Amino acid sequence: MRAVQTPIIPTVGRWIQEHPGTLSLAQGVVFYPPPPQALRAAEHYLQHGHHRYGAVQGTSSLRAAIAAKLRRENGMNVDGDGARIVVTAGGNMAFLNAMFAICDTGDEVVLPLPYYFNHEMAIRMVGARPVLVPTAPDLNLDLQALRESITPRTRAVVTVSPNNPTGMVYSREQLSAVNAMCREMNIYHVSDEAYEHFTYAGSTHFSPGSLPQSACHTISIFSLSKSFGFAAWRIGYMVLPDHLFSAVMKAQDTNLICANLLAQEAAAAVIESGAAYREEMCRTLSGVREVVMRELAELGDTCRLSASTGAFYVLVRLDADMDPLLLTQRLIREHRVAVLPGSAFGIEGGCAIRVSYGALEPDFAIAGVKRLANGIRTTLNGGG
């Protein structure tokens, strides 16, 4: 555990608390609550549901709703494809379950850079080693570099699309190539799709688990935290090869027993009927994204922006010789706006920050990015 990085979100959260009035463009959550269907289902459960443990893999009603959703939205036929659904307490637990199931001490898991920090942390927690592979200059996957990183100890390649922290949406061609490479090399493709519904500017999401012959080596991870405003309810799910089911059940039963049953009831309700609500919220975020990208683009040559067409993140690389953690502190202290330092995502050298525009009501998010742009200008010009 000493080798695991300190979680960045609580650290930045403490700084925010110390500086009242700070607008947070830091944590990756959405501003909107769950749809009304979730609240009605939860109220019904409180009145009529039982309060004992449930099935480790999730309730049958929620797993049926997920299977229908996967067929409808992701092109994945779980029922007859040698794959299983397991409901988890959010996407992070699904990823940790997967690492418990596939890794022995000293094994390797390939992470494209920049990575999602909780993935890197989970790999280290199970005694495996994260192998960090740079992406291409435009932040798309470098397929040749990924292939060259694979060794006899490699157990999996991880992709996150739409991506955290860059907002990149990997193409069907890129993800299909990674999946085919993993099948060829007899390793797993772990596909984190927590932001599947957040795509803009013509980008489309693709699930590698929909490919023919992918079921036996693909682990797909999904979450309701973002799409349906379920962050506090802790509901995610994973689709995994049947041969890993027993191992995942051991991990989940030991760590959790089962995901919250009230939240599972609410999740089944929104998966079946909440698409219109979700789509409306995503359209709102699309409008916020346009303002955010425009405001940051006005900084000119002092920063480079990721071509963010997914999730609700922008990776900003600054033309400055400054520690990104120090910059994060100064932005909070001097300009009352919070971001996350790129170093938390494995970015070494230079000064990079991740901007999240999903957590605040649209007007506050826009106000926050204006503060950020002003703070960057002032800091880079030697002010403050």
User: Per-residue pLDDT for 120 more than 80?
Assistant: yes
pLDDT score for 81: 66
Spatial distance between the Cα atoms of 334 and 320, rounded to a whole number of angstroms? 18
269 & 169 share domain? yes
- At 382, the pLDDT band (50, 70, 90 cuts) reads confident
- SS3 (DSSP) at 155: strand
119 & 211 share domain? yes
Spatial distance between the Cα atoms of 100 and 250, rounded to a whole number of angstroms? 9
Half-sphere exposure of 32 (CA within 13 A, CB side): 18
pLDDT score for 383: 56
- At 379, the pLDDT band (50, 70, 90 cuts) reads confident
29 & 53 share domain? no
Strand-pairing partners, residue 317, are 304, 352
Concatenate the DSSP letters of all residues of 57-106 into one string. T--HHHHHHHHHHIIIII----TTTTEEEEEESSHHHHHHHHHHHH--TT
Q: Does the residue 170 lie in any domain?
A: yes
Which tens digits make up the pLDDT trace of 59-74? 999 999 999 999 999 9
- Domain end, chosen from 273, 302, 328, is at 273
Q: Does the residue 89 lie in any domain?
A: yes
Which tens digits make up the pLDDT trace of 259-279? 999 999 999 999 988 899 999
Spatial distance between the Cα atoms of 142 and 182, rounded to a whole number of angstroms? 14
Spatial distance between the Cα atoms of 237 and 232, rounded to a whole number of angstroms? 15
**Inter-axis angle of helices 275-297 and 362-380, to 10 degrees?**
20
Strand-pairing partners, residue 304, are 317
Percent of the chain's residues with pLDDT above 90: 93
Q: What is the mean pLDDT of residues 75-80?
A: 85
User: Per-residue pLDDT for 80 more than 80?
Assistant: no
- Structural domain count of the chain: 2
Q: DSSP character for 111? A: E
DSSP H or E stretch at residue 262: helix 261-273
- Two tokens at 12? 């930045």
28 & 42 share domain? no
Q: DSSP character for 116? A: P
- Which of 130, 86, 135 is closest to 111 using CA atoms? 130
Q: What is the mean pLDDT of residues 278-305?
A: 93
372 & 347 share domain? yes
328 & 284 share domain? yes
Q: What is the mean pLDDT of residues 124-135?
A: 97
- Which of 219, 205, 217, 264 is closest to 38 using CA atoms? 264
21 & 41 share domain? no
Spatial distance between the Cα atoms of 247 and 142, rounded to a whole number of angstroms? 31
Residue span of the structural domain in which 15 resides: 8-33+276-380
326 & 267 share domain? no
Residues 6+ apart with CB under 8 A from 150: 110, 157, 181, 185, 187
User: Per-residue pLDDT for 258 more than 90?
Assistant: yes
Q: DSSP character for 184? A: H
Q: Environment class of residue 51 by beta-carbon count within 10 Å: exposed (0-12), middle (13-18) or buried (19+)?
A: exposed
- Domain end, chosen from 273, 290, 313, is at 273
49 & 27 share domain? no
Which tens digits make up the pLDDT trace of 172-197? 999 999 999 999 999 999 999 999 99
